[in-house]
């Protein structure tokens, strides 16, 4: 069965309305595995509420921004949008890839980029008084540099409009284009992140075919080689069917690539069309894996059921810089 496309309208920089076909939430067909409605007690997150949450939600809408918190259906939005850092998703909300764990829309944006977005993102951060921002994006394989120059422009706009704000760049893999990696690094983010997502064996099952285990390691290693002064960071989702030996192998591979910070969290199925959860990893196992990470030499390891790559990123950065 072919994917079910929906038509969305985007405004081009010239003001022209462009129609694009997308697969909502990335994957169109429900999988045969039933949805697990009996999650363990440790999988709990506060409901989004409070004046700061409502103010931030209104500003995101006013300035036409996208956040990974909303687009990827993150369970931590209620907590992160109350006191914590802001995670902004640039380059639109249509991804050119279709990873089996991700609920972001899939399609071909046909090279459309909003040149005013860096200014709007910087304005939002300045107005909210945010001191730490995680800047991420959809994959944009339709762009010659994968969106690296737009990434860099947004980082520079933030630092100009809101001096003192710390920026974490959580980038795509740019199809392994190391020049694109260098473009982002030249904008001087405090952290350069690219997520390995899962163990080597499960990568073809979990990630889009254009992604790759070795490709991500190559990007991270190059970032550390080119800019050893910038912290590097990566993340693994657990509960997709990996073994503990495979988790340890992935952690060793990340350390060999010079990665400074590692986050480990529970995979949660965003819709019935996405991969099922193979195992709910108990908190005590996350504690053991965290200890493994410190033994391997990571400067900071943040592990827990609801941990995501950008979760409490400001605190993680502070801990890493104090070690």
SS3 (DSSP) at 37 = coil
- Residue 247 to residue 253: CA distance in whole angstroms: 10
pLDDT score of 63:
57
pTM of the model: 0.86
pLDDT score of 20:
74
Asked whether residue 265 is assigned to any structural domain, the reply reads: yes
Summarize the confidence of residues 5-14 as an average pLDDT.
Answer: 68
Largest Cα–Cα distance of the chain, in whole Å?
A: 55
Indicate the burial class of 119 (C-beta count within 10 angstroms; 0-12, 13-18, 19 or more).
middle
pLDDT score of 86:
85
pLDDT in tens, 233-288: 999 999 999 999 999 999 999 999 999 999 999 999 988 889 999 999 999 999 99
Nearest by Cα to 220 from 188, 199, 192, 198: 192
Asked whether residue 229 is assigned to any structural domain, the reply reads: yes
Asked whether residue 30 is assigned to any structural domain, the reply reads: no
Q: Residues 13-46, buried b or exposed e (16+ Cβ, 10 A)?
A: eeeeeeebebbbbbbbeeeeeeeeeeeeeeeeee
pLDDT score of 23:
76
Contact 99, 206 (CB under 8 A): yes
- Residue 14 to residue 10: CA distance in whole angstroms: 11
Summarize the confidence of residues 148-168 as an average pLDDT.
Answer: 97
Domain that holds residue 283: 6-17+47-321
Asked whether residue 275 is assigned to any structural domain, the reply reads: yes
Residue 10 has pLDDT above 80, yes or no: no
Asked whether residue 223 is assigned to any structural domain, the reply reads: yes
**Which CATH number characterizes residue 196's domain?**
3.20.20.70
- Residue 249 to residue 296: CA distance in whole angstroms: 11
Question: The sheet that has 6-11: what strands, in order across it?
Answer: 6-11, 17-23, 105-107, 94-95
The more confidently predicted of residues 254 and 53 is: 254
Helix axes 178-185, 148-161, angle to 10 degrees: 10
pLDDT in tens, 64-112: 666 555 544 445 455 555 556 789 999 999 999 999 999 888 999 999 9
Query: What's the domain count of the chain?
Result: 1
The overall average pLDDT reported for the chain is 87
- Residue 268 to residue 240: CA distance in whole angstroms: 9
Residue 8 has pLDDT above 50, yes or no: yes
Q: How is residue 66 annotated by DSSP?
A: B
- Residue 323 to residue 321: CA distance in whole angstroms: 6
Asked whether residue 35 is assigned to any structural domain, the reply reads: no
- Residue 31 to residue 269: CA distance in whole angstroms: 11
Asked whether residue 121 is assigned to any structural domain, the reply reads: yes
Nearest by Cα to 124 from 162, 172, 69: 162
Indicate the burial class of 93 (C-beta count within 10 angstroms; 0-12, 13-18, 19 or more).
buried
Asked whether residue 88 is assigned to any structural domain, the reply reads: yes
């Amino acid at each position: 069965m072919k994917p079910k496309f929906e038509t969305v309208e985007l405004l081009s920089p010239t003001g022209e309305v462009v129609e694009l076909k997308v697969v909502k939430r990335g994957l169109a067909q429900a999988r045969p595995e039933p949805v697990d409605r009996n999650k363990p007690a440790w999988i709990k997150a506060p409901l989004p509420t409070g004046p700061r949450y409502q103010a931030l939600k209104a500003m995101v809408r006013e300035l036409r921004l996208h956040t990974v918190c909303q687009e990827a259906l993150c369970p931590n939005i209620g907590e992160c949008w109350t006191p914590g850092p802001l995670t902004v998703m640039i380059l639109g909300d249509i991804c050119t890839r279709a990873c089996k764990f991700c609920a972001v829309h899939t399609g071909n944006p046909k090279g459309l980029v909003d040149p005013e977005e860096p200014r709007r993102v910087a304005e939002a951060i300045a107005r909210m008084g945010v001191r730490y921002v995680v800047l991420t994006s959809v994959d944009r394989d339709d762009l010659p540099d994968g969106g690296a120059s737009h990434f860099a422009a947004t980082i520079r706009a933030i630092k100009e409009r809101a001096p003192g704000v710390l920026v974490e760049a959580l980038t795509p893999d740019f199809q392994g284009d190391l020049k694109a990696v260098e473009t982002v690094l030249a904008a001087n983010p405090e952290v350069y992140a690219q997520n390995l997502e899962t163990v080597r064996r499960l990568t073809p099952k979990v990630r889009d075919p254009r992604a790759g285990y070795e490709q991500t390691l190559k990007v991270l290693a190059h970032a550390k080689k080119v800019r050893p002064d910038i912290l590097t960071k990566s993340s693994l989702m657990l509960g997709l069917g990996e073994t503990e030996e495979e988790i340890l192998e992935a952690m060793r591979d990340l350390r060999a690539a010079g990665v400074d910070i590692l986050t480990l969290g529970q995979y949660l199925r965003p819709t019935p069309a996405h991969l099922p959860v193979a195992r709910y990893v108990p908190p005590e196992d996350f504690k053991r894996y965290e200890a493994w990470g410190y033994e391997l030499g990571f400067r900071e390891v943040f592990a827990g059921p609801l941990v995501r790559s950008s979760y409490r990123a400001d605190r993680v950065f502070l801990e890493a810089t104090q070690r």
